[in-house]
Each structure stands twice: as C-alpha cells, then as structure tokens.
Structure 1
Amino acid sequence: MYLSTTVPKPHREFFITPIDKNSPTCWRVNLPEKGRGSTNQSSDYRVCQDAGEWSDSCGGGGGRRRHSYWSSQGVPSPPSLPFIGHLHKIVTVTNHRWELLHELYIKFYQEKCFGMYECFNPVLVIRDPDILKNLMVKDFSHFTDRRPVGDQEGSLMNEMLANKTGEGWKILRSIMSPTFSSGKMKRMFPLVCQNVQTFIAACLEEAKKNDYINMKDKCGRFSMDNIASCAFGIDCNSQSVEKSMFAENAEGFFAITPLKALKFFLMILYPKAFNAVGFKLDSHEILFFQRIVDETVKSRESAPKRGDFLDLMLEARGEANNDNTSVKNVLKDKAMVAQCVLFLIAGYDTVASAIGFCTHLLAKNPKEQERLRQEVQDLVRENEGLTYEGVMEAKFLDACVMETLRIFPPGTLGERICTKTYRVPGTDITLRPGDLVQFPFYSLHRDPQYWKDPLQFRPDRFMGENKAEIKNFTFMPFGMGPRNCLAMRFALMEMKAALAMLLLKVDLQLVPGHEEITIDHSPIVLRAKHGIPLNMKLRKTTT
C-alpha cells in the first residue's frame, strides 16, 4: 500500500460508528455530551451503499441528485454518507484528506480518475499523468483558479496570491514573479547563510547537552528565522530565545482551536455561509504581522537595503511609472503584508519538514551522506567557498533534495477549480464551472508503476539518464503549470544551503530505536509526529 503511518488515538467531539457489523449501510452518529454526567445522544441513519441512493430521511431527492453527479457520468466513486459525502474519515479523526485520497488511489488503481464528494460538492481526483498534463498546463485556461476562500472582500486572506482568481491573480503573479528570479535569490543568499550558521551552532550546542538532537525543532526554528529575516525584515533569534514575539504569534496563527477549525471548515466548503455569518480569519496574530510590515516599510525609506523580500516588493512598486499604475494599485501596503504572511504560511512547516526528513534519510544512508559531503567539499575547493551558483548547481545535492521531496512531499495534493466547461481528454467526463479537481501528489510520488521500490531512498533516480526517464507529472513537489509554487527557487535555496553547510561540519547518525519516522496526523503538511531524533558528530576537517 506504500502508506506507513501511525494514527494517533482519536479525541472525538462527535463520531460515527456502525450500528450493526453485518449491515454496513446502517450507522450511528454520536453527538457530544451536553454536560457533566449526561449521556451521549445518538441518532441512527441508514446509508445506502450506492452513493446516490439515500433514504428520504437522509437527504431526499436533492441528496440523490447531488450524490449521483459522478455515477451519471460513469465515474467510479466509493459509497458516501449523508450530508458529509466522503469526509467521514476526516470527521472521525481516523485520517486526513491526503490519506483518504491515497486509500482511494489504491482502490481505483485501474482507473484514470475517480469521484468524491465534499459534503455536496463534487470532486474529481485525477490519477493519470497525461490527463494531469492537460489540466495543469495545456488546458490551463479552463482551470485558472484554486478553491475559493470564503472571506470578506479586501481581507488579508483574499489579498494573498494563492487565493487570487482570474485577472487579479494574473496581474499579481506577473508582479511577484521577478522577485524570485535567480538574480534576486542570489541577493538573499547571504541572509540565508547567516541563519544556517546560527542553526548549525544551535545544533552543536544541543548535542553537548543532550543525548540527541530533535531536528524537527531545530529545523523549525531555522525556518522561522529565515522567514522573519527574508520576508519580514527582522531578526527573530528563535534558536537562542525560547519563544520570541514573532515565533509566539506564528505559533498562535498556526494553532488549531475548535472555533478556528469550524471557521476553516466553513471557509473551504461553504464560503458563502462563511461570509453570511460574518466570520473572519484575520486575527490578532495577523495584526501583529501587519504592524511589523508597516513599520519596516516606513523604516526602509531611510534605512540601507537588506536585499530581502520586502525590499524586492518595494522595488517592484517603486519602478511603476505613471503609465503603468497596475503595480501601484495591486501592491498596496495591505497586499504586501498579505504576501509576507503567505510566505510564512507556505514556507514555514514545508521547508522545516523537508530539511528534517532529508537529514534523517542521509543518516539512515551513510554512503549517500558521504557522497554528498564529498560533492560539497569539491564545490568549496573549486569556488573558494560556498556560493549561490555552486549550491544551486550541485547535482547530487539536488538529487538528494528531490528524492526527499518524492518520499515526503510537504504538499501532499493540489487542486484547481474548473472555470469553463471542459471535456476530460480520453473520457466521457464533462466538468462544469465550479467543479473541483484534485491531484494526489503523495500517491503519484509513491506509485510503484512509476518508481521502482518507491519507499527506498535512491537519489540516483534524479541523476543523468535516470532523471530524463522520469515520467512527466508523476513528480510534482511544487505543483506544475502557471500556478506552481512561485517561491520554489527560494525554498530549494534554503534546503540546499542548510544541508550543504551542515554536512561540512558534522556527521549525521541515527539514534537507536528511531530508525523510522512516524508521520504526524496533520491536515495539510506532511511532518514527523514524534520529532526527528539524530546524533551529530563534529568533523575534524570541514574541507
């Protein structure tokens, strides 16, 4: 099955259980306790195995019509539950969306695609790489947008590039793209290297005090420092300070509370209802980040340039002439705050997890670790130091990072919204505006049809002729097409700089009893549940 995860014991506020083991169509919904000493209330619902054939008490004719959307087009789909469709495994805290997709990916292994329902919303999951190529690139004009976000017009969430749609997305993307060019990344490279040095020093200091180092924690602090420095223009010092104001507000922003979970659920599945009840995701943490950016923007009028993300956006806005006011109109102060917060959302956990996973895999594969170290040492000798060009062009370093992202893709799936009626190539399926399409990156990355021994760490898959033989659209750690990850080059620079500089200093070794990683039960980002314990041995020579 190529899915090795340990699921934590659920803490349920409500859950669904079968009433009769011999009758898989009959379920009990247990509602939360109303007070101390009260008993759980429960209601029985009868669910027909056919996704579209509910009893009247469970949805009536409207339910039958809505949950027969895929069967009417001959698209295979597993049985669904009333009202929640195929979200029941998420509701019962038994797995999350990427895990559910992986189970169904295996179940429908002979199919090019299969259907699902998020409540009443139809979702088409694409398994076939050739169809993915059409949807993500060739026929992109039919899938220009991501899932709509239910937040008030003008809110910070709606100002983020990832949530922009139509022409607004196109304009902002064109403005932001130059800020992630190779030349601009080279300007940020010294900032990243400073944070890497602090990261390594903190790791070595912890190695003196403890039996092992928790790389999940150290990589998370490195990622936090990097984002604070490169996106917000401040020094966070999270490696030396237990919890800085920046880190505290970032953790508060990412913390999942019952109210925040409800808001997120409504925002994603019922954006109109989200707006109707007046919910907003903007919080006091957002106000904290907004204040930082506002103060930094004002200080940049007289302060020397740092070469960070804020500088690059200010340059883009400043270069707008009188005949081109689109940049000025789009990159207002609030929009710049939104892109900085997006930098935090998209880059914090993803980069930290990727670096942590790679250190674990290198410790587990000492021959590959030594081979990578030798490459980095050669680069240092050739270039008289570690340069941006050397790090980004190192072939085996790139292969190790890519193989890590294949096995542990931080972003486990992608999705687009159909914006124009579309006939899926090679099928009889017609997608209509508003239909959601999902791409199972995690499953494609581990499919033995495309990868021999998919759970084995083999960086040579991404070297020379092997790399050329990888089937297109089976490896997408940063997405594909016009809406791929804009900050991909920056993320790779972070990962490669951290790994290269670390291996020059230390040998990475596994901690006995921690040879395997247990995946966290995280809704979005793939990360280690119990941390990533490693031993580090300081090397006598670094060149």
Structure 2
Amino acid sequence: MLFTVALLVVAAWLYSKYCHTYWAARGVVTIPGYIPFLGHSHKLFRTSYPRWLYIDEVYKNLTGSKFCGYYDQLTPTLMLMDPELVKTILIKDFNHFADRRNFGMTSKRDETVKEMLSFSNGDHWKRIRSVLSPIFNSSRIKGIFPLVALKADALVDYIHREIKSHSALPLRKTFALYTLEVISSCAFGVETNSFQGEEQIINDMADKLLNVSGSRFRNMKTLLFFLFPRSCSFFKISFSPPEIVFFENVIMETMKQREKGGKRGDFLDLMMEAREDQKDPDLKAPKYPLKDVTIVAESILFIIVGYDTTATTLSFIAFLLAQYPEQQQRLRQELKNIVKEYGTLTYQGIMQAKFLDACISEALRLHPTINFVERICTKDYNDRHIEYLKDGMRFALMEVKLALAKILLDFEVSCAPGQEQMEFAKSFGSMRPSPDMKIVFKPLINCEQ
C-alpha cells in the first residue's frame, strides 16, 4: 500500500516536472521560482502580497522582453509585455481570445454572476454582447451625459462644503462617492444621495461587494476558485459574495417600477428596451432574448467594473496633477478654452480635449487599475482581423473626464502635507491608493486673490 502511494506521488511529481518544461522546450524565457504542482501560483495568488506588485516586479526584471512564460499550477501561461502584442490579442485577433478563466460555478447562488459578461464565455458571451453593445455607442452615452453632469456638479458642491471644516479630504473615498452616485443613477436608477450622507447602506454594500477592506476570508475564498475551480465546482461552493442578493433585490424592484412607467433614459431603461426589441415578431433575426437575470447581472457588473476602478483612476490622476502643478494649470487652460468655445462643458468638448486624454492615459500607464487581463486561446491562431469595441470604456472615460473638468475649473489641487508621494494599499486585487492618502482642494477664487 505504501509502495503504491509512493509510486503515485513520484509519478505525479514527474508529471508536474514534465508540464513545467513547456516553455523551456520552446525557448521562451520563464519566470524563475516555480515549484512542483503549483508552478508560480504560490506567488501570483498570495493574500499577503498584492498580485499587481508581483507582476510589476516581473515586468521590471524582464525589461526589454516582449513576453515571458509562467505556470498557473500545471497550465502554461504566456505573459505579454509588448504593447503591440497586447493590441494584437485584444483587438486584431480578439476572436481567438474572447474567453476568460472558467471558475466552474455550479451553485444556484451563482446564477446571476454566471450571466455577467465578464464571467461568460463562448456563444453565450457573444449573444449577450451583441444585444448590449449598441447600448454603449456614442449617441447613447451622449444621451446619459446630463445625468453624469448632475453628479459631477454634486461632487464639486460636496468638496466646497467639506473643505470648510477639513484641510484635506480622503483621496479615494471622495471620488468613490462620485462614482457610486453615477453608477447607481445611470445603471439602475437609484439615487443614493451619498453626498448628503444619506443611503450609506448602498455605499457600504458596494465596498463589501468589492472587498475594499481586504477581508482575509474573502481573499482566501477567491483564492480557492483560482487554484481549485474543479473542487469548488464539485462541492458546489458559491463564488458569489452575499452582497449580490442585496443588489439583485434593489434592481428587480426598480425594474418593476419601470414597467409601470417613469423612464429615466439610463442604462437600465436601455437594457429593458433591448429586451422588448428582441420580442418583436417583425424582427427578422432576433439576436438574443434578454432575461431578467441577465439585466440584473449586467447592472451589478456596472458596480463591479466601474465603481472602484473609476474612483481609483480619478484618485491617481488628481494626485499626479497635484504633484505637477504646471501640468494642472495647462489642463485647466484647455478646459477654460472648451467652456469659451461651447459656452459650457459639453460631451463633444470634453471628449475632444487632447491634453485631458493625455493626462488620463499617463495616469493609467503609471498606475493601471486593471493590472492584468487573462484570455484563453479558444481555437487555432491565424492572422485575421475583427473590430473589438471597448464598450464600457466610453462611459468610464466620459465619467472620469467630466469629474476632472468640473473640479479643475473650481479648485486648485495639491498634495496634503507629508504625502507628496503616493502610498498604495496592500490589497489582494487591484492597485489602489492607501486609505490614509488625502488631497487638498483650494477654491480658485482664493488662489487668485
């Protein structure tokens, strides 16, 4: 018996060693430090050390390389570090790399999460996306611009009130209030009034949903699905955080109210309209009948992909502008020119602001909120061309640009004393500022005196 067990262990170990020769056999530089069975997973998925920091170290150590190989347990994975190669995979040949990691969700509690675009694969993903893509075209986003503008104005008013009693404001928290206001209003039509200190339950639930506090238990649970998806599937362990149920109820209640009347022209209305359009008997080729659970799922996905990432992006941009006041002034002048040309901040004006674009791009280059994107090759890789629309990016950019424009036309932004350099939170997932980071807003009227 012991001999059989020992033989199986040795065989498994040899198989692991064999799997870990994949990249070396093909002449691909391999990240050092992999171990039998786990490969590099013990470094990539540590709860005590941010994954983005490890990837950053690898990138810096392999400066000049276009790509390198590593092992997700026994699976060979290629890490791309060349911008042109990344464009090839995500744009030019995207139809070969549309699928993402499969977490093997089998629990009934995960039905909503499985309907989200970010967790769907294959034909199911393509069908949902074909219906939802038109919702994110420029004309639709332009129609939602007034809703976002109201929230940007509310952010400016909030800052004016807060600086009367505080010399510096929390960096990420200030922008998180804004992004959640925008998403709640534009995605599922709920007014949180968080700038007035009301409805904090939605803010709290959103933070818990995204594990902003860095709960060790939640990190470990996520780790289980990354490392042992088949085991999680077999035991029907739920991937969904409990806060999903709260947002499901909020959105379903809002949908019931919308069906009785009172449309707002937000994304929830657009998805419900798309659902009805697919039921039209005169439609020659209906794309995909949207179910209620799909609409709920995509509404919650707005929070997952747009709340923390957009707030963090705004935080990094504001801090960089505080570090470089001459560039801040240059951007402010561009915004003043836009107001002079259009009479106010318009959708067309801010979307054409070149230096504003440059500031956002540079902040994302230095501090990418999404530090890695995983794709799975689903078929033989040949050179083909398709267009990949960056659906949600249009809305996120408009949201970021409008907030920055409104703030810079009202305030001078500077670093808080003793915080001249960015400090990062040691979070398991995304790169974000330390919760202790603050920023100073000084009204321009005072600056000019």
- TM-score normalised per structure 2: 0.89
Partner SS, residue 190 of structure 2: coil
User: CA–CA distance in 2 between the matches of 1:343 and 1:501?
Assistant: 23
* 1:81 paired to 2:40: no
* Structure 1 residue 541, shift from structure 2 partner: 9.1
Paired with 1:112 and 1:539, the residues of 2 have a C-alpha distance of 46
Deviation at 1:113, TM superposition (A): 2.0
Range with greater deviation from structure 2 (165-174 or 250-259): 250-259
Q: Which residue of 2 aligns with 1:205?
A: 161
Query: Pairwise mapping of residues 104-115 of structure 1 onto structure 2 (< 5 A)?
Result: 104-115=58-69
Conservation of the 8 A alpha-carbon contact between 1:253 and 1:285: yes
Please, which moves more after superposition, 416-425 or 378-387? 416-425
Amino acid at match of 2:319: H
Q: Confirm or deny: 8 A CA contact 1:148 1:268 kept in the other structure.
A: no
Q: Name the amino acid aligned to 2:408.
A: L
Secondary structure in structure 1 of the residue aligned to 2:391: coil
CA–CA separation in structure 1 for the residues paired with 2:222 and 2:196: 33
Q: Verify: 1:67 aligned to 2:20, yes or no.
A: yes
Match of 2:175 in 1: 219
Residue 16 of structure 2: SS of its match in structure 1?
helix
1:150 corresponds to which residue? 104
The question of whether the paired residues in 1 share the 8 Å contact of 2:192 and 2:199 is answered with no
Q: Which amino acid aligns with 1:537?
A: K
The alpha carbon displacement at 1:169 in A equals: 1.3
C-alpha distance after superposition, 1:164-193 (max 9, x if no partner): 211111111111111111111112111111
Deviation at 1:488, TM superposition (A): 0.5
The match for 1:272 is 230
- Asked if 1:260 is matched to 2:218, the reply is yes
Unaligned runs of 5+ in 2: 1-8
- d(CA) in 2 for partners of 1:181, 1:92: 39
Q: 1:165 aligns with which of 121, 125, 137?
A: 121
- Given the alignment, which residue of 317, 322, 326 partners 2:275? 317
Residues 217 and 531 of structure 1 are in contact (CA less than 8 Å); yes or no, is this contact kept in structure 2? no
The 5-angstrom pairing of residues 200-349 of structure 1 reads: 200-241=156-197, 244-255=200-211, 256-320=214-278, 321-322=280-281, 324=283, 330-349=289-308
Aligned residue runs from structure 1 range 300-449, under 5 A: 300-320=258-278, 321-322=280-281, 324=283, 330-422=289-381
SS at match of 1:111: coil
Which secondary structure does the structure 2 equivalent of 1:534 belong to? strand
Which residue identity lines up with residue 347 of structure 1 in the other structure?
G
Q: What residue in structure 1 maps to residue 81 of structure 2?
A: 127
Deviation track 1:422-481 (CA, whole Å, cap 9, x = no partner) reads 4899xxxxxxxxxxxxxxxxxxxxxxxxxxxxxxxxxxxxxxxxxxxxxxxxxxxxxx98
Q: Residues 283-311 of structure 1, C-alpha deviation per residue, up to 9 Å, x if partnerless?
A: 43111111111111111123322121101
1:269 partner letter: L
Instruction: Sort the Cα spacing of 1:511 and 1:260 in 2 relative to 1 into closer, same or farther, 3 A.
Output: closer
User: Bigger shift: 166-175 or 88-97?
Assistant: 88-97
Moved more, 139-148 or 87-96: 87-96
Separation of aligned partners in 2, 1:136 and 1:95: 28
Counterpart residue type for residue 191 of structure 2: D
Q: Is the 8 A contact 2:52 2:371 kept in 1?
A: yes
Match of 2:414 in 1: 509
1:445 matched residue in structure 2: none
CA distance in 1, matches of 2:376, 2:150: 41
- Which of residues 97, 105, 126 in structure 1 aligns to 2:51? 97
User: Aligned equivalents of 1:74 and 1:94: distance in 2?
Assistant: 33
Secondary structure in structure 2 of the residue aligned to 1:304:
coil
Normalized per residue, the structure richer in helix is 2
Alignment partner, residue 70 of structure 2: 116
Distance 1:129 1:359, change over 3 A: closer
In 1, Cα distance between equivalents of 2:126 and 2:350 = 31
Distance 2:50 2:446 in 1: 45
Structural RMSD (CA): 2.8
Counterpart Cα distance in 2 of 1:327 and 1:410: 36
1:111 and 1:385 mapped to 2: Cα distance?
A: 47
SS at match of 2:307: helix
Q: Tell me which residue corresponds to 1:53.
A: none
Distance 1:169 1:407 in 2: 31
Distance in 2 of aligned mates of 1:412 and 1:215: 20
Tell me if the contact between 1:317 and 1:328 (Cα under 8 Å) persists in the aligned partners: no
Structure 1 partner of 2:431: 526
Deviation digits for residues 302-343 of structure 1 (CA, Å, limit 9, x no counterpart):
332212110111121122222559868542110011101111
Structure 1: 5+ residue stretches without partners: 1-55, 426-479
Contact 2:40 2:71 in 1 (8 A): yes
Contact 1:362 1:368 in 2 (8 A): yes
Whole-angstrom distance in 2 between the partners of 1:522 and 1:386: 36
For the residues of structure 1 that align with 2:395 and 2:47, how far apart are their CA atoms? Answer: 34
Q: Secondary structure of the equivalent of 2:77? A: strand
Corresponding residue for residue 5 of structure 2:
none
Q: CA deviation at 1:407?
A: 1.5
Q: CA deviation at 1:242?
A: 6.6
Give the counterpart letter for 2:252 in structure 1.
Answer: D
User: Could you tell me which amino acid in structure 2 is paired with residue 198 of structure 1?
Assistant: A
Distance 1:281 1:303 in 2: 35
Kept in 1, the 8 Å contact 2:342–2:349? The answer is yes
Shift in Å, 1:98: 2.5
Contact 2:43 2:54 in 1 (8 A): yes
Contact 2:128 / 2:288 at 8 angstroms: preserved in 1?
A: no
Q: Which range is displaced more, 380-389 or 125-134?
A: 125-134
Give the structure with the larger strand fraction. Answer: 1
Q: Could you tell me how far apart the structure 2 residues matched to 1:498 and 1:393 are? A: 15
Query: Distance between the aligned counterparts of 2:76 and 2:26, measured in 1?
Result: 12
| Residues 136 and 513 of structure 1: CA distance in aligned 2, closer, same or farther (over 3 Å) | same
> Which residue of structure 2 lines up, in the alignment, with residue 140 of structure 1?
94
Note if contact 2:89-2:97 (Cα within 8 Å) is conserved in structure 1: yes
CA positional deviation for 1:258:
4.2
Given the superposition, is the C-alpha separation of residues 111 and 355 from structure 1 closer, same or farther in structure 2, using an over 3 Å criterion?
A: closer
1:450 aligns with: none
CA contact under 8 A between 2:46 and 2:428: conserved in structure 1? no
Counterparts of 2:387 and 2:53, CA distance in 1: 27
Q: Tell me, what secondary structure is at the counterpart of 1:222?
A: helix
**1:493 counterpart residue number:** 398
- Higher mean alpha-carbon deviation, 343-352 vs 238-247, is at 238-247
**Aligned equivalent of 1:194:** 150
- What is the distance in 2 between the residues matched to 1:58 and 1:533? 55
| Contact persistence 2:163–2:441 (CA under 8 A) | yes
In structure 2, how many angstroms separate the alpha carbons of the residues matched to 1:390 and 1:122? 46
Aligned-partner Cα distance in 2 for 1:81–1:168: 36
Please state whether the residue corresponding to 1:518 is helix, strand or coil. Answer: coil
In 1, Cα distance between the equivalents of 2:140 and 2:20?
Answer: 49
CA contact (8 A) 1:360 1:532 kept: no
Counterpart AA for 2:170: N
Q: Deviations over 1:78-131 (max 9, x none)?
A: 231233221333565563323222222233334332111122222111223443
